[in-house]
């Protein structure tokens, strides 16, 4: 039995049937969405033996199962990062659990630094592709066939409708490429110039391992990045994690509106 199956059995023993359709991993400062689920069950990660511990500020470490937009969802309020000392296989524990509980869709959110000149703090980027510069991959050491094709990793078909909704709601939504570095230090201005040359529009310390594992497990993947700050060297002030958290909280209404609309429109049977 895999670790994901073991954790799923533990939850079933505590709460009965907790099968869900869609899993949402909430980025820094975005945990408010978990409080909006109806008919919800909430449990701490610590109730799952062997499940990682969330130590990063802004990641409370709780799992909520409930109803959003008439969909059964799992909401992970707290993710794991390489900079906490975990490897890529450990940080994808929520993805393994979600798939074991029946989720076929995985929505990944994060707070990121904007590289594109078109982005300002408070904007949202629909993840169109990524660049993995973390130095690790969650499929390293996988016993199954790990050579998966990532050509169509993210559900690009969702963008057009989501963009039209964002325009009606006066939410600044872009699409772009997310670069992932391990952290915890922020990037240097030289590294940001490099990322821009490589084609990155935003930079994060998360999300990419989860997307890869979700694809490997046969899930449909979508991602939204809240632009919390301009990347290193592009703004006049030093970067601080508290500022990232505040920006995420101050713009959570936009993210929540986009997530709700996406849940209404995301058919799990539609082609990529």
Among 229, 247, 251, 261, the one annotated catalytic: 229
Among 37, 56, 205, 222, the one annotated catalytic: 205
Sequence-distant (6+) residues with CB within 8 A of 169 are 254, 257
Among 37, 65, 84, 213, the one annotated catalytic: 84
Among 59, 130, 174, 261, the one annotated catalytic: 59
Among 54, 110, 116, 206, the one annotated catalytic: 206
Report the C-alpha gap between 130 and 179 in whole angstroms: 6
Report the C-alpha gap between 209 and 88 in whole angstroms: 6
- Phi and psi at 61, nearest 5°, equal 80, 50
Tell me, yes or no, if 84 is annotated catalytic: yes
Among 81, 130, 174, 261, the one annotated catalytic: 81
Tell me, yes or no, if 111 is annotated catalytic: yes
Tell me, yes or no, if 45 is annotated catalytic: no
Tell me, yes or no, if 240 is annotated catalytic: no
Beta strand 105-114 with 202-204: parallel, antiparallel or unpaired?
A: antiparallel
Report the C-alpha gap between 61 and 43 in whole angstroms: 9
Tell me, yes or no, if 28 is annotated catalytic: yes
Tell me, yes or no, if 65 is annotated catalytic: no
Tell me, yes or no, if 86 is annotated catalytic: no
Minimal CA–CA distance to 126: which of 143, 140, 108?
108
Tell me, yes or no, if 186 is annotated catalytic: no
Q: Give the tokens for residue 179.
A: 């670069």
Among 8, 28, 93, 100, the one annotated catalytic: 28
State whether residue 93 is helix, strand or coil: helix
Among 44, 83, 182, 194, the one annotated catalytic: 83
Residues acting as catalytic residues: 28, 59, 81, 83-84, 111, 205-206, 229, 241
């Amino acid at each position: 039995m895999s670790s994901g199956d073991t954790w799923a059995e533990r939850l079933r023993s505590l709460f009965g049937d907790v099968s869900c359709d869609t899993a949402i991993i909430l980025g820094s400062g975005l945990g408010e969405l978990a409080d909006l689920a109806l008919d919800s069950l909430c449990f701490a990660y610590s109730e799952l033996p062997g499940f990682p511990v969330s130590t990063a500020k802004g990641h409370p470490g709780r799992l909520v199962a409930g109803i959003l937009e008439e969909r059964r969802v799992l909401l992970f309020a707290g993710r794991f990062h390489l900079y906490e000392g975990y490897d890529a296989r450990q940080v994808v524990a929520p993805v393994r659990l979600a798939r074991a509980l029946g989720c076929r869709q995985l929505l990944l959110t994060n707070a990121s630094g904007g590289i594109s000149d078109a982005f300002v703090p408070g904007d949202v980027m629909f993840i169109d592709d990524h660049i993995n510069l973390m130095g690790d991959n969650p499929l390293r050491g996988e016993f199954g066939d790990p050579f998966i094709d990532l050509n169509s990793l993210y559900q690009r078909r969702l963008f057009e409708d989501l963009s039209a909704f964002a325009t009606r709601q006066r939410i600044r939504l872009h699409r772009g490429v997310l670069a992932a570095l391990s952290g915890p230090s922020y990037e240097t201005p030289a590294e940001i110039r490099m990322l821009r040359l490589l084609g990155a529009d935003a930079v994060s310390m998360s999300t990419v391992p989860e997307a890869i594992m979700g694809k490997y497990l046969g899930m449909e993947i979508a991602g939204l990045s809240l632009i919390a700050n301009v990347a290193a060297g592009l703004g006049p002030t030093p970067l601080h994690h508290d500022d990232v958290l505040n920006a995420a909280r101050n713009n959570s209404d936009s993210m929540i509106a986009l997530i709700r609309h996406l849940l209404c429109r995301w058919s799990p049977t539609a082609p990529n």
